[in-house]
Amino acid sequence: MLILGIESSCDETAAAVVENGRKVKSNIIATSLDEHKLYGGVVPEIASRRHAESISGVVSEALKVAGCTLDDIDAVAVTYAPGLIGSLLVGVNFAKSLALACEKPLVPVHHLRGHIASNYLSSDIEPPFLCLVVSGGHSHITAVKSYTDIEVIGRTRDDAAGEALDKAGRTLGLPYPGGISIDKLSPEGNENAFEFPHPKVSTSIYDYSFSGLKTKVINYVHNAAQKGESVNTADLAASFQKAVVDCLLANLELAAENFGYDKIVIAGGVSANSKLRAQAEKMCKKHAWSLTLPELKYCGDNAAMIAAQGYYEFKNGTVANESLNAYATMPIDNPVF
Ligand code: KG4
Ligand code: ZN
């Protein structure tokens, strides 16, 4: 079965063709990242305009590279939530028109479920497993019981890990996105130079809080500035990255032990982080747990992961009609459309 996936939830306009949820036939991405760099973050209006300009060409290219036409496609899968509403609407409307015109089923896909499915593209992992989903907007520990039955065990109560990394990067004067800049700079710094607390969250032992860590970075920088001193940026970046990774993995380890999972998976933009990947490797080795990570090219937003999850959602009977809408927020465990 061939699924055409379409993704436009943030600043990447993406289309891909994936066979049976696993085999990537094409994966095309156009991004407006360079324009957003000027402003230190994604400007929604610019992102929407670029999506509208690129989407038609990106979808055509995905079909061409896959060596197929719309006739060969079995269903159109599209990210409908969560994300920037103006961005999502471009992909959703394009997918709806395509599905209607070509008389193909339309499959709505939750963006974070797509991130989890990025792991199906380069490994033969199958549920059940425990998955840490860490992106610019979300940080969840999820129990993936089946391809479409997902339970949230823990979540951030304030900033997402990626968001905290991006904001800390900005405070440190590093280029956007801060997460990538901090990852690049950290090997040059001493990760024990600055102290960070391990925030405890009252709601659940599996929940996260990153805003306090982020504020600590701001305080270190401001205190130094007030004294006329400068902070060692590489040291602070490395220490902050270590703190974020330690928090992410501490709760993940606890959840795996308490819920009895020995298959660990990580997904989302932050899963590209080299410290997180290395530390997760160590943690899983210690417990003799298996670890699955997406290939770097599938960590960030792409449509192959949407087509992969779309395949499993479609097999589970999830099909939308032309009234499908886009939603800025939507729970991963019980998505409605
Ligand atoms: O999943 P994603 O591409 O978009 C969302 O769904 O949000 O995640 C983007 C986030 C950004 O916060 C970015 O800084 C972070 O992923 N990111 C990284 C790395 N690459 C991307 N964070 C740390 N290390 C990286 N190598
Ligand atoms: Zn994403």
pLDDT tens track for 314-332: 999 999 999 999 999 999 9
Distance (angstroms) between ligand 1 centre and the Cα of 321 equals 32
- Give the pLDDT score at 100: 98
Q: What is the mean pLDDT of residues 134-143?
A: 97
Pair 183, 238: CB distance under 8 Å: no
Separation CA 200–CA 95 (nearest Å): 43
Is 269 near ligand 1, meaning CB less than 6 Å away? Answer: yes
Is 136 near ligand 1, meaning CB less than 6 Å away? Answer: yes
Count Cβ atoms below 10 Å from residue 281 Cβ, excluding itself.
12
Distance (angstroms) between ligand 1 centre and the Cα of 229 equals 31
Separation CA 306–CA 294 (nearest Å): 14
* CA 161 to ligand 1: nearest atom: 12
C-alpha dihedral over 110, 95, 84, 156, to 10 degrees? 10
- Give the pLDDT score at 208: 98
**pTM of this prediction?**
0.98
Position 79: which residue type? T
- Give the pLDDT score at 252: 98
- Give the pLDDT score at 128: 98
Separation CA 305–CA 301 (nearest Å): 8
Is 137 near ligand 1, meaning CB less than 6 Å away? Answer: yes
Q: Look up tokens 């599905």; give the residue.
A: 99
Which of 270, 275, 279, 297 for mutating ligand 1's site (highest number of atoms within 8 Å of CB)?
A: 270
Res. 200: pLDDT tops 90: no
Separation CA 337–CA 321 (nearest Å): 10
Which of 33, 119, 180, 214 for mutating ligand 1's site (highest number of atoms within 8 Å of CB)?
A: 180
Pair 119, 216: CB distance under 8 Å: no
Q: Identify the three-state secondary structure at position 3.
A: strand
Three-state SS across 248-286? HHHHHHHHHHHHCCCEEEEECHHHHCHHHHHHHHHHHHH
Is 301 near ligand 1, meaning CB less than 6 Å away? Answer: yes
Distance (angstroms) between ligand 1 centre and the Cα of 60 equals 27
Q: What is the mean pLDDT of residues 9-28?
A: 98
Res. 112: pLDDT tops 90: yes
Separation CA 164–CA 161 (nearest Å): 5
Q: What is the pLDDT of residues 51-107, one digit of tens each?
A: 999 999 999 999 999 999 999 999 999 999 999 999 999 999 999 999 999 999 999
Separation CA 170–CA 241 (nearest Å): 14
Give the neighbor-by-neighbor strand order of the sheet with 2-7.
23-31, 12-19, 2-7, 75-81, 106-110
Give the neighbor-by-neighbor strand order of the sheet with 263-267.
150-155, 139-144, 129-134, 263-267, 290-292
Q: Identify the three-state secondary structure at position 245.
A: helix
Q: What percent of the chain has pLDDT over 90?
A: 99
Separation CA 108–CA 81 (nearest Å): 8
Taking CA atoms only, the protein residue closest to ligand 1 atom 21 is: 269
When mean pLDDT is compared across 40-44, 92-96, 184-188, 266-270, the lowest value belongs to 40-44
* CA 275 to ligand 1: nearest atom: 24
Is 270 near ligand 1, meaning CB less than 6 Å away? Answer: yes
